[in-house]
Structure 1
Amino acid sequence: MSISVIIPVHKGGEAFQHCLSSLKQFASAETEIIVVADGDEESGDLAESFGAKVIRNSSASGPAKARNKGAKIATGDVLFFIDADVTVNANTIPQVNLLFLKEPELAAAIGSYDDEPGASNFLSQYKNLFHHYTHQTGSEEASTFWGACGAIRRDIFLKIGGFDESYRLPCVEDIELGYRLKIAGYSIKLCKTIQVKHLKRWDVISLLRADFFYRALPWTNLILRHRQLKNDLNLQWSSRISVILVYSLLVSFLAALWWSYLWLLVLGIMVTLFIINFSVYRFFYHQRGIIFTIRMIPWHWLYFFYSGLAFAIGMIRYYGSYPIIKTNLAD
Structure 2
Amino acid sequence: MRPTLKISIIIPVYQGGIAFAQCLDSLHRYGSLAYEVIIVIVGPDDRSAVLAARDGHRVIQLIHNAGPAKARNVGAQAAVGDILFFLDADVALSLETLAQIQNGFERSQWDAVIGSYDDQPGSPNFLSQYKNLLHHYTHQRARTNASTFWGACGAIRRSVFWQAGGFDERYRHPSIEDIELGYRLTRLGYCIALNKQMQVKHLKHWGIRSLLKADFFYRALPWTRLIWRDRSLVNDLNLDTTSRLSVISVYAMVGLAALSLWWTPFLLGAIAFGLALITLNASVYRFFWGKRGLSFAVRVIPWHWLYYAYSGLAFMIGTSQYWVFHPRTPRSPAQIQPLSPPRVEFATASLRDADR
User: Could you state the TM-score of these two structures normalised by the residue count of structure 2?
Assistant: 0.89
Alignment pair present for 1:245 and 2:249: yes
Shift >6 Å, 4+ stretches: none
> Partner of 1:14 in structure 2?
18
Match status 1:275 vs 2:279 = yes
**2:174 equivalent to 1:204:** no
- Show the counterpart of 1:152: 156
One-letter amino acid matched to 1:54: V
1:26–1:89 CA contact under 8 A, matched in 2: no
**Which of 9, 12, 26 is residue 5 of structure 1 equivalent to?**
9
Q: Between Structure 1 and Structure 2, how many residues are aligned?
A: 325
Q: Distance in 1 between matches of 2:162 and 2:65?
A: 22
- What are the residue-to-residue correspondences of 1:170-249 with 2, within 5 Å? 170-249=174-253
Shift of residue 321, structure 1, vs aligned partner? 3.3
Partner of residue 60, structure 2: 55
1:64 counterpart residue number: 69
- Structure 2 match to 1:314: 318
Q: Secondary structure at the match of 1:11?
A: coil
SS in 2 for 1:25: coil
Amino acid in structure 1 at the alignment position of 2:85: F
Query: 1:36, 1:44 within 8 Å by CA — same for their partners in 2?
Result: no
Summarize the alignment of residues 26-105 of structure 1 with structure 2, pairs less than 5 Å apart. Answer: 26=30, 28=32, 30-39=34-43, 40-103=45-108, 105=109
Q: Deviations over 1:34-69 (max 9, x none)?
A: 100111232122101011111111121210011111
Q: Given the alignment, which residue of 119, 122, 137 partners 2:123? A: 119
Structure 1 residue matching 2:86: 3-state secondary structure: strand
What is the Cα deviation at residue 29 of structure 1?
A: 5.8
- Equivalent residue number for residue 254 of structure 1: 258
Matches of 2:279 and 2:31, distance apart in 1:
43
> Which one-letter code corresponds to 2:121 in the other structure?
P
Deviations 1:283-309 (A, max 9, x none): 101000100000000000000000000
Q: Distance in 1 between matches of 2:186 and 2:222?
A: 19
RMSD: 1.5
From 292, 298, 309, give the equivalent of 2:296.
292
Which protein has greater RCO, CA pairs closer than 8 Å, 6+ apart? 2
Which of these residues, 119, 131, 139, is aligned with residue 143 of structure 2? 139
Would the aligned equivalents of 2:322 and 2:329 in 1 still touch at CA under 8 Å? no
The counterpart of 1:303, out of the listed 303, 307, 325, is 307
- Counterpart of 1:260, as a letter, is T
Q: Deviations over 1:187-218 (max 9, x none)?
A: 10010011110000000000000000000000
Any gaps of 5 or more consecutive residues in structure 1?
Answer: none
Q: What is the rounded CA distance, in whole Å, between the counterparts of 1:207 and 1:115 in structure 2? A: 19
TM-score by length of 1: 0.96
C-alpha displacement of 1:28: 3.7
The residue type paired with residue 69 of structure 2 is A
Give the Cα–Cα distance (whole angstroms) in 1 for the partners of residues 84 and 74 of structure 2. 12
Deviation at 1:257, TM superposition (A): 1.6
Report if the CA contact (8 A) 1:26-1:88 is conserved. no
Per-residue CA deviation, residues 245-294 of structure 1 (Å, 9 max, x unaligned), is: 00000101001122112221111111111001111011101000100000
- Quote the offset at 1:27 in angstroms: 5.3
Q: Quick one: percent identity of the two aligned structures?
A: 55
CA distance in 2, matches of 1:93, 1:99: 10
Query: Does structure 1 retain, via aligned residues, the 8 Å contact 2:146–2:194?
Result: yes
